[in-house]
Structure 1
Amino acid sequence: MLNFEMVGRVARPNGAADFRWRVGLRLVAAAALGLTTSAWATPLTFQDALTLAEQRSPMLQARRAALEGAQQSRTAAGQLPDPKLAVGVENYPVSGADRFRWNRESMTMRRIGVMQEVPNAAKRAAQRESADAKAERERAMLEAERLAVQRETAVAWLAQHHAERKLKLFAALERENQVLQDTLAARIAGGKAMPADALMARQEALGLAERRDELQAAVDQASAALQRWTGSAGETSGSSPVIPLDTTSLLQRLARHGELLPSTSMLEMAKAEIAEAQASRRGDWGWELAYANRHRAYGDMVSFQLSFDLPVSPATRQDPQIAAKRKELDRLEAERDDALRRVRAELQSQISELQRLERALERQVSSVLPLLGERVQLTLVSYEGGRTDLSSVLTARKDAAEAQWRALDLEAQLMSQRARLAYLIAE
């Protein structure tokens, strides 16, 4: 066992362990300053973590803002452009006997008018359809981001939860080792154990200390990953959650996959752009109303006129634009089909991995753990009877502990896989 000297009320190890003591003391100070808050924060349940992540996610806030902006844009889509005000002087003489005099020539007038351009109805309808499709795309991207946030938060919570469980299991192993060391002196004095067993037990304790550092680091790293999504650190609380999952229906609802959700609205946007390009073949029109004021010797005038676009060369102007938009639609459809094949293959692979983990965990719990537990008991009985040495006991206990950690690892992988699948498809 480590030899401790008391410094104030802090147990401080001698020799080579002094560096570890200083590092540990700094970590304790950092926790007291709030730099490491997991020990002091309120325990976090699985559902609370999902709720906090959805409330605090910057990416979800960005997606909500994008959706609100797209919805606001729908109001302006398809509206007539603003009218134009025209002010000027017409037929003002700049040469001759009446130059620079506006009241000597009957055609000289001060003119004010209003002009309004009117895009054709098909073009405005296509603009409204494009704005609607863009809003739907933003809504789909918001839902896809929400699924991603829930999925990553669930995986992070489960990682921290199982890391904490492994640390608690390790504490039980340390207590068993301490009991063994406490009884070892009496066994050596009674001739039931060798003096070398004491050194072996101390060596085992040092190995356990190294393993504890590794497990604590795993907890801290998992806590940092969870804090990235929830915005706050803390221990997890409660047992492992029940994540309902129907693998049979996942493939049937593949169109609602988070990655595929925006594809439908993106195709609708492309179709609306094609319709708008096609509408440009019809041309737009406009009107203008003007009032002209002349010298009082002459009467004032009112004029009204209409203007029309003349698509005289659609083969070199409108048709290439239409063809380009159609190719864009073809590209989006091909990319959607490729994404559909890819996510289907990935989903089938994930389901297969889930089934493998279920079988592995079942074997570990039902067969491996009971066998190793029985081996530990038999080895202890043999050691107490003087029929085996301490190394056999320590090996058996280590193998049993490793099997328990392996079971926890399998459970963690299984639950993480269920979370990835459960938050993959939108309802």
Structure 2
Amino acid sequence: MFILPRHPWVTWHWLLAFMPVGAFATPVSLPQALVAAQDYSAELSASRHQINALDNRADSAMQLPDPKLKFGIENLPVSGNNDRRFTREGMTMQRIGIMQDYVSSSKRERKADTFRAESRQIAASTQSIRARLQRDAALAWMELAIGEQNISQIQKLVDESQRQIGVQRGGVSSGSALPASVLDARLTLIGMQDKLTQAQRDVQLARTRLSQLTGIDQPEINGAVPPVSALPPEVQQADSVGQHPEILQARREAEVAQSKSSESAIAALPDVGVEVYYAHRADDYDDMAGVMFTVDLPLFTASRQDKDHAADQSMAMESNDRLAQLVRDHQAQLTTLIAQYQAASILWQRQKNDVLPLQQQRISVIQAQYRAGKSSLNDVLDARRSLLDSQLAERNAELDVARYWVALRYLAPQENH
């Protein structure tokens, strides 16, 4: 007799150890999986922080530099009768002043515009991350849902075959069946069990992937698989390629390059520094005050600022060319995806509407012949194995359609409702 430990804490943990894993499963619908994947993503969180940092830098770039406090001693003698004396030489002054650099408002605005363009670029990359997360989470969810349906079908055929093998063993005992027939039946059954094990492995991998993306421990499917037999309406929009996050991100990159070019175009504008100071001298001498100005002298712009601007212009043109090429590539990818989806859909419908009904009719005929003594158990099991192969092919075809459907559905991130 099995006796639990008496200590309540130990008893509780023993119960947890023997409790099935399914008891801790969390039902997850497809929309919930998409939301959880975005909430759980550290990559999205990092992008939001980066956007916030760039927005703050843009605000800071509009401000003037901090003023500077200047203080010290001027004209201190280092030789002669007044060596290191502060009050005997009329030129010695204890000086204090404030200095402020004035940067052109145009230069500050251009710099802030560059930061804002970089912020929009990161925001566009955030949309790319969202779309990828939604694609991955939706695919993992569908693989788990279709895989669980697959296991249910395989398990049903395995259970039926096991029962009939038990009947066949009784026939061997009574002499109405040959021992070799039982061995052949068991070999067929083992092949079906192998496929069941593989299907269980695929389900566990899909569950692990979904848990990795969403942070949900032991997720379970809740809700029906969305209809994947028709193209997503988003694909049929005229500007579906133009709304792709990678295209939008490339446009933002071109805007950043253009902003940097605009910034370098006025880099030769001189900055001005203003200093106001007060100088205290010895008691026998008058104190002094003054104003000093500093102005940049961009005398060699052809070899400095103009070169930087030319480089930024080239970078802007390069970004525009890359954007044009990316649009062409994505248009070709979209056309390819649609063709792959349509072909996979035809194969799936053929398996579903033609092959499976024929296999089911075949197994019905063979089972009727078996009951009438006109066929053997091995014929029945072979028919079941063929039906199982067709069911697996149908599920795999459905999964292929689902993969292409997800890729098309989440070309751009979808808002969660």
TM-score (structure 2 length as normaliser): 0.88
Alpha-carbon spacing, 1:254–1:377, altered in 2? closer, same or farther (3 Å): same
- Equivalent residue, structure 2, for 1:226: 210
Say which of 109, 112, 127 aligns to 2:93: 109
Query: Residues 306 and 38 of structure 1: is their aligned pair in 2 closer, same or farther, counting only changes over 3 Å?
Result: farther
Matches within 5 A, 1:336-415: 336-415=323-402
Partner of 1:20: none
1:52 corresponds, among 36, 40, 43, to 36
CA contact (8 A) 1:39 1:234 kept: no
| Residue of structure 2 equivalent to 1:328 | 315
Q: Give the aligned partner of residue 224 of structure 2.
A: 239
Select 2:267's aligned residue among 272, 275, 280.
Answer: 280
How many residue pairs match? The answer is 399
Offset of 1:69 from its aligned partner? 1.8
CA shift, 1:185, in A, is 5.0
Does 2:55 align with 1:66? no
Corresponding position of 2:253: 266
Give the conservation status (yes or no) of the 8 Å contact 1:192–1:384. no
Provide the rounded CA distance (Å) in 1 between the counterparts of 2:382 and 2:348: 23
Give CA-to-partner distance per residue, 1:216-235, whole Å, 9 cap, x none. Answer: 21211221111110122233
CA shift for structure 1 position 123: 1.0
Partner of 1:306: 293
Counterpart for residue 14 of structure 1: none
Contact 1:92–1:101 (CA under 8 A) maintained in structure 2? yes
Is contact 2:62–2:109 with CA below 8 Å preserved after alignment?
yes
Distance in 2 between residues matched to 1:38 and 1:225, nearest whole Å: 17
| C-alpha separation in 2, matches of 1:42 and 1:67 | 34
Would the alpha carbon gap of residues 249 and 207 (structure 1) be closer, same or farther in structure 2, given more than 3 Å must change?
closer
In 1, the alpha carbon distance for the partners of 2:18 and 2:257 equals: 55
Percent of aligned positions with the same letter in both sequences? Answer: 29
The range that moved more, 142-151 or 247-256, is 247-256
Q: Which amino acid aligns with 2:73?
A: V
Q: Deviations over 1:164-215 (max 9, x none)?
A: 1111111110122133224435666788754433232222232233222222
Indicate the SS of the match to 1:290.
Answer: strand
Deviation at residue 389 of structure 1 after TM alignment: 3.1
* Contact 1:43-1:235 within 8 A present in 2 as well: yes
1:78 deviates by 2.4
Equivalent residue for 1:257?
244
Q: Is the 8 A contact 1:103 1:294 kept in 2?
A: yes
Task: Say which is worse superposed, 219-228 or 183-192, in terms of deviation.
Answer: 183-192
Paired AA for residue 360 in structure 1: L
Contact 1:130 1:273 in 2 (8 A): yes
Give the aligned residue type for 1:135: S
Q: Aligned letter for 2:225?
A: S
CA displacement 1:261-305 (0-9 Å, x = unmatched): 322222222222112212112221111111111122222221112
Aligned residue for 2:151?
A: 167
**Could you say which residue in structure 2 is the equivalent of 1:19?**
none
**2:134·2:413 contact (CA, 8 Å) conserved in 1?**
no
Mean Cα deviation higher: 228-237 or 153-162: 228-237
SS of the residue aligned with 1:43? Answer: strand
Q: Which residue of 2 aligns with 1:87?
A: 71
Give the letter for the 1:239 counterpart: A
Aligned-residue offset at 1:322? 0.8
Amino acid paired to 2:198? E
Q: Report which stretch shifted further, 311-320 or 55-64.
A: 55-64
Q: Structure 2 vs 1, CA of residues 315 and 358 (structure 1 numbering), >3 Å: closer, same or farther? A: same
Whole-angstrom distance in 2 between the partners of 1:86 and 1:393: 99
**Structure 1 residue 157 corresponds to structure 2 residue 144:** no
Q: Residues of 2 paired with 1:215 and 1:69: CA distance? A: 47
* Conserved? CA contact 2:127–2:412, under 8 Å: no
- Normalised by the length of structure 1, the TM-score is 0.86
1:48-80 superposed Cα distances (whole Å, 9 cap, x missing partner): 211211111121222222222222222212211
**Partner AA of 2:377 in structure 1:** L
CA distance in 1, matches of 2:22, 2:227: 24
Spell out, residue by residue over 1:372-410, the C-alpha distance to the aligned partner (whole angstroms, 9 max, x if none).
111111122222223333333222221112111211111
Rounded Cα–Cα distance in structure 1 between residues aligned with 2:388 and 2:165: 18
Match of 1:15 in 2: none
Residues 1:143 and 2:127 aligned together: yes
Q: Aligned partners of 2:323, 2:124: CA distance in 1, in Å? A: 15
2-structure distance, mates of 1:293, 1:238: 84
Give the Å deviation of 1:354.
0.8
Rounded Cα–Cα distance in structure 2 between residues aligned with 1:240 and 1:426: 19
State the alpha-carbon separation in 2 of the partners of residues 251 and 396 from structure 1. Answer: 49
Residues in 2 aligned to 1:279 and 1:188: alpha-carbon distance in whole angstroms: 97
Q: CA deviation at 1:98?
A: 3.5
Q: Distance in 1 between matches of 2:67 and 2:227?
A: 62
User: 1:53 is aligned with what amino acid?
Assistant: A
Contact 1:120 1:279 in 2 (8 A): no
Gaps of 5+ in 2: 3-13
Deviation at 1:253, TM superposition (A): 2.4
